Amino acid sequence: MFNKILSTPKDSQSYDRPRKVVFYGRVSTEHEEQTYALKNQMQWYDELRKQYPNWVVADRYIDDGVTGTQAKKRPEFMRMLNDAKSGKFDLIVTREVSRFARNTVECLEFTRQLKSLNVEVYFVHENIWTLDNNGEMILTIMAMVAQEESWKMSERVKAGQAISRKNGVLYGNGNILGYDRLGDTYVINPEQAETVRLIYNLYDSGMGMQAIRNELIRLGKKNARGTMEWDVTRISRCLRNTVYKGVMAYNKSHSNNFLDQKTIVNRDEDSYMYVAGKSEPIISLEQWERCKHIRESRKKVQAIDVSGQIAIRTIASHKNNNVWTNKLRCRCGSSMRKNKWHTRHNGITTFGYKCYSQLNNGADKIVDANNRGFCNVRAICDWKLEMMAVYVFRHLFKDEKLLSLATEKLKSESFLQKQEKEKIRNNYEEKIKGLTEKVQRLIEMRANGEIDKDTYLTMKLKAEADKEQVQQELLLFDRNCGDSGYKNISEKDIKAYLRQVASVKNTAIDTGLVEKFVTRIQVESETEFSWYIDFDLNSKTEKRTRNIEFTITYKDALKFRIARKEILRKNQYKDLKVIVYIF
């Protein structure tokens, strides 16, 4: 039946009425033979025009070297739709369905949209006129055929790429720092290769990416484009590139499907396809792996809430001795950064803590609230955190049962098992060994002229000072943590200290207690905070979670500030609501 419909002769006279016509043509690549085919298409349209002398050609729309699966990627196609809305023409002539669209849904959607504007589409090869009674039915079938052909083409391309990867074929323009592309391989660029080695040596010696970036600019080193523009992203990309160790990495990105063709970046390095490269490595395998280990140790995986769904992301993780940055988390899931606010006349410096997501993506004044990653939580100053900690422990330790639990926890953790002691001692020894190797690498880098004298002396003195500090810590550990364990502290003494912390006269906070008991401080809003306290309740016979809720009023805050010989104006403060979750 379908063949019968297609073969039904059309009376060309019925369509040869005065009409404003446009032609639409498309080729999917910019190859010379495809460009030549496009010229043939246009010539073919001119021949067709002679069969309909009453047609007036209003325009021609040509998409050169673009996909047919998505209309939004075809500028001429979109211009044609806009012109249709303005009434510029009433007939679109295109050679075949696959030239118009390879996406069935889009093909029908646009022909229906044009039909509502009283604009007809004529598919010459299939002899389909969309305003005919059976036009949409035939078009649906032919569009499905065109989409199926697009899928088959996509699969053939994937198969070809898989073979190319196995053969180590190079992709991209070859603009990689340290190499020049020569045919199907990379040839080392001596000047740029020295920059690559410097980056790896500096990172291997313990320097961070931002510090490396600053050093490269100071030394006047050029990037792959020949400019002295450096940033952390370039350094990170260089340290991740397996080409430098003689290995090609594939599957770093892929399209989500053959219709949308949206590029999905694959950040899971373990899922890459690795093939031995043909080019000479710049970095030894051992050093590349050492730097990878350093990278892995400086990042962590975090689960965040994105539009009601849990997403996993990798974020930088640096050793931090600040108790508040270690404990603080914004309601959006991001950690918070410590910023210096100001130093008063008495020499006391005030610090604030702000959400990293807001720092990276912008505040609500400049970012649309619907944007992904948006966060409008205001920064919190340090004295408010200290005040909340004082009140949290005051509420906790005035409860005798919780006081006993805290005492028991501190008492049990004051003695180390043999296995734990060995683990801690080995950690100290590894640090000392690493710092010793770092000093040796710095000596080699200076001897090879990779770093100047000032940089060498600064980094060497710091490494030696760090080494001496760790050695002192190890000595102290051995002295206090021998076979007899820590000096025995009575439960009575521990309780007395905790009661002192809970005293209403106390305004000082022991950050050691925060480290020991507080697992997280979540900033819900400018005036609401959730504190999560670990008392090992779930390991007790009564498995439960206890909550405490209180408000720190202006009067409470003023007393706290006066006790610290500070001032607080009423218009500078809003009552703080604190919810304590004990588990």
Asked whether residue 208 falls in the same domain as residue 188, the answer is yes
Asked whether residue 93 falls in the same domain as residue 14, the answer is yes
Residue 38's nearest CA partner among 26, 49, 48, 29 is 26
| Structural domain that includes position 132 | 2-161
Residue 574 φ/ψ, nearest 5 degrees: -120, 145
Most distant CA atoms of the chain, gap in Å: 108
Query: Does 316 map to a domain?
Result: no
Indicate if the pLDDT at residue 89 is higher than 80: yes
Tokens 């229906």 sit on residue: 112
Q: Give residue-wise pLDDT tens across range 532-551.
A: 998 876 554 444 456 899 99
Q: Tell me the pLDDT band of 128, cut-offs 50, 70 and 90.
A: confident
Residue 195's nearest CA partner among 233, 244, 240 is 244
Q: Which residue has the higher pLDDT, 519 or 320?
A: 519
The Cβ of residue 417 has, within 10 Å, a number of other Cβ atoms equal to 9
Query: Does 307 map to a domain?
Result: no
Output the 3-class SS for 183-204. CCEEEECHHHHHHHHHHHHHHH
Residue 553's nearest CA partner among 357, 330, 387 is 387
Which letter does DSSP use for residue 331 in this model? T
Indicate if the pLDDT at residue 372 is higher than 90: no
The Cβ of residue 431 has, within 10 Å, a number of other Cβ atoms equal to 17
What is the signed CA dihedral for 404, 405, 408, 409, rounded to 10 degrees? -150
Q: What is the mean pLDDT of residues 106-110?
A: 79
Q: Please give the Cα distance from 442 to 435 (Å, whole number).
A: 11
Indicate if the pLDDT at residue 510 is higher than 60: yes
The pLDDT of residue 574 is: 92
Q: Give residue-wise pLDDT tens across range 294-351.
A: 888 776 655 554 445 545 555 555 556 688 988 999 988 888 888 888 776 656 678 8
Query: Considering 429, 453, 480, which residue would you say is the last residue of a domain?
Result: 480
Indicate if the pLDDT at residue 454 is higher than 60: yes
Q: Which residue has the higher pLDDT, 519 or 26?
A: 519
Asked whether residue 115 falls in the same domain as residue 19, the answer is yes
Asked whether residue 569 falls in the same domain as residue 496, the answer is yes
Asked whether residue 392 falls in the same domain as residue 436, the answer is no
Query: Does 43 map to a domain?
Result: yes
Q: Which residue has the higher pLDDT, 64 or 478?
A: 64
Indicate if the pLDDT at residue 108 is higher than 50: yes
Distance of CA 242 to the CA centre of its chain: 20
Indicate if the pLDDT at residue 33 is higher than 50: no
Query: Does 302 map to a domain?
Result: no
Work out the percent of the chain whose per-residue pLDDT is above 70: 68
Indicate if the pLDDT at residue 259 is higher than 50: no
Tokens 């401080």 sit on residue: 521
**Per-position DSSP letters for 102-147, written without gaps between them:** S-HHHHHHHHHHHHHTT-EEEETTTTEETTSTTHHHHHHHHHHHHH
Asked whether residue 9 falls in the same domain as residue 118, the answer is yes
Asked whether residue 408 falls in the same domain as residue 266, the answer is no
Q: What is the mean pLDDT of residues 37-61?
A: 84
Q: Give residue-wise pLDDT tens across range 460-490.
A: 888 887 888 778 777 766 655 544 433 455 7
Answering whether pTM is above 0.85, one says: no
Asked whether residue 70 falls in the same domain as residue 202, the answer is no
Q: What is the mean pLDDT of residues 425-443?
A: 83
- Domain total for the chain? 4
The pLDDT of residue 359 is: 75
Q: Tell me the pLDDT band of 154, cut-offs 50, 70 and 90.
A: low
Indicate if the pLDDT at residue 438 is higher than 50: yes
CATH number for the domain spanning 238: value is 3.90.1750.20
Query: Considering 161, 192, 226, which residue would you say is the last residue of a domain?
Result: 161
Output the 3-class SS for 231-300. CHHHHHHHHHCHHHHCEEEECCEEECCCCCCCEEECCCHHHCEEEECCCCCCCCHHHHHHHHHHHHHCEE
Query: Does 173 map to a domain?
Result: no
Report the range of poorest mean pLDDT among 108-117, 468-477, 486-495, 519-528.
486-495
Asked whether residue 133 falls in the same domain as residue 197, the answer is no
Environment class of 461 (CB within 10 Å of its CB; exposed 0-12, middle 13-18, buried 19+): exposed
Query: Considering 103, 131, 161, which residue would you say is the last residue of a domain?
Result: 161
Indicate if the pLDDT at residue 411 is higher than 50: yes
Asked whether residue 15 falls in the same domain as residue 120, the answer is yes
Environment class of 377 (CB within 10 Å of its CB; exposed 0-12, middle 13-18, buried 19+): buried
Query: Does 315 map to a domain?
Result: no
Residue 360's nearest CA partner among 385, 322, 321, 333 is 333
Which letter does DSSP use for residue 583 in this model? -
Indicate if the pLDDT at residue 176 is higher than 90: no
The pLDDT of residue 23 is: 93
Asked whether residue 142 falls in the same domain as residue 122, the answer is yes
CATH number for the domain spanning 123: value is 3.40.50.1390
Q: Tell me the pLDDT band of 363, cut-offs 50, 70 and 90.
A: low
Asked whether residue 362 falls in the same domain as residue 221, the answer is no
Q: What is the mean pLDDT of residues 452-458?
A: 83
Query: Does 351 map to a domain?
Result: yes
Q: Please give the Cα distance from 283 to 196 (Å, whole number).
A: 8
Query: Does 303 map to a domain?
Result: no
Residue 95 φ/ψ, nearest 5 degrees: -65, -45
Q: Give residue-wise pLDDT tens across range 2-24.
A: 333 333 334 444 677 889 999 99
Q: What is the mean pLDDT of residues 362-381?
A: 62
Q: Please give the Cα distance from 389 to 508 (Å, whole number).
A: 9
Report the range of poorest mean pLDDT among 277-281, 394-398, 562-566.
277-281
The pLDDT of residue 82 is: 92
Q: Which two tokens stand for residue 537?
A: 């309740």
Indicate if the pLDDT at residue 554 is higher than 90: yes
Q: Which residue has the higher pLDDT, 127 or 152?
A: 127
